[in-house]
């Protein structure tokens, strides 16, 4: 086998599904088993599709697993009365996903919703953590953008007027705004990213489901202190790669994580929330470099 064919094999992406707690979970897998595991978890309103550009590069060094949460991407969409669309239940799904695949040691990519979900997993499961990568995924109140604060207020004071305002969070204009706000070069943002998210949002029941998830997001704040203490006590090797112009999760959240973990590395990129869309190659390179440098130090 030539070196080229080995590289091609490592970079090949498989598209699979597995049942976890009676829920069908779609996931992307790449890289050879036996390499260090790296779980990539998306946020709102995206799916594992957000990692499409970096998986080939990362899979040369890692065994990549990138699942879609229930109600996102190509995973199942259970009815609200049969499935709890909460961050704690999502964490049970991810923990079950790792258990089904016999993953006992892995690195985690914590983005957006993925940050609180994976912090639930890290805090409650026996999974061995090799490395954390925070990318615009927040666990400090100073990192909450005004939009998040506004939505929490509206959910706490629901009426017809406030409900109408909240509906805008699951509409195309908002989804597109999340992708385009703060970027340096709009020509680098693939339109299929936000169009695919909106297309999938049009499925029956999805708007109501995603509003329920957004309402539950506020419950994560009660866990922030415990998660912060977990990070400080563990001192996991941690890389923080952050779109510094993000208005959803502010750069102050990245600075807070870095201050709590003196050995962590913080890199800002001149872009917005979906930093991988504009700086995917640079971020993938930073992950690979940091992983092997951190192993030398631990």
Q: Among all residues, which ones are annotated catalytic?
A: 273
For residue 33, the cross-strand partners are 35
Q: Rounded to whole angstroms, how far apart are CA atoms 31 and 36?
A: 9
Q: Which residue's entry shows tokens 């509409």? A: 171
Q: Rounded to whole angstroms, how far apart are CA atoms 196 and 25?
A: 18
Look at residues 125, 120, 102 and name the one whose alpha carbon lies nearest to residue 110: 120
Q: How far is CA 121 from CA 38, 51, 129, 259, in A?
A: 14, 21, 10, 23
Q: Rounded to whole angstroms, how far apart are CA atoms 267 and 242?
A: 6
Quickly list DSSP for 107-149.
EEEEETTHHHHHHHHHHHS-PEEEEEEEES---SGGGB-HHHH
């Amino acid at each position: 086998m030539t070196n080229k064919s080995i590289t091609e094999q490592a970079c090949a992406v498989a598209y699979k599904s597995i049942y976890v707690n009676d829920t069908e979970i779609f996931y992307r897998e790449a890289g050879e088993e036996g390499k260090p595991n790296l779980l990539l978890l998306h946020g709102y309103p995206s799916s594992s599709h957000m990692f499409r550009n970096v998986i080939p590069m990362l899979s040369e060094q890692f065994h990549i697993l990138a699942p879609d949460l229930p109600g996102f991407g190509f995973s199942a969409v259970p009815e609200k009365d049969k499935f709890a669309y909460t961050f704690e239940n999502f964490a049970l799904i991810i923990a079950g996903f790792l258990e089904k695949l016999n993953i006992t040691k892995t690195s985690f990519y914590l983005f957006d919703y993925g940050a609180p979900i994976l912090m639930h997993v890290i805090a409650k499961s026996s999974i061995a953590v090799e490395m954390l990568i925070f990318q615009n995924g927040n666990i400090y109140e100073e990192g909450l953008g005004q939009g998040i604060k506004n939505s929490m207020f509206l959910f706490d004071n629901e009426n017809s007027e406030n409900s109408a305002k909240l509906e805008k969070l699951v509409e195309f204009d908002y989804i597109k705004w999340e992708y385009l706000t703060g970027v340096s070069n709009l020509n680098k943002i693939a339109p299929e990213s936000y169009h695919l998210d909106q297309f999938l949002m049009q499925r029956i029941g999805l708007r109501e489901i995603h509003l329920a998830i957004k309402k539950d997001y506020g419950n994560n704040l009660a866990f922030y202190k415990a998660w912060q203490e977990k990070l400080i006590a563990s001192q996991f090797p941690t890389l923080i790669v952050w779109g510094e112009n993000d208005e959803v999760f502010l750069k102050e959240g990245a600075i807070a994580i870095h201050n709590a973990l003196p050995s962590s590395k913080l890199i800002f990129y001149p872009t917005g929330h979906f930093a991988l869309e504009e700086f995917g190659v640079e971020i993938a390179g930073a992950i690979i470099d940091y992983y092997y440098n951190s192993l030398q130090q631990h």
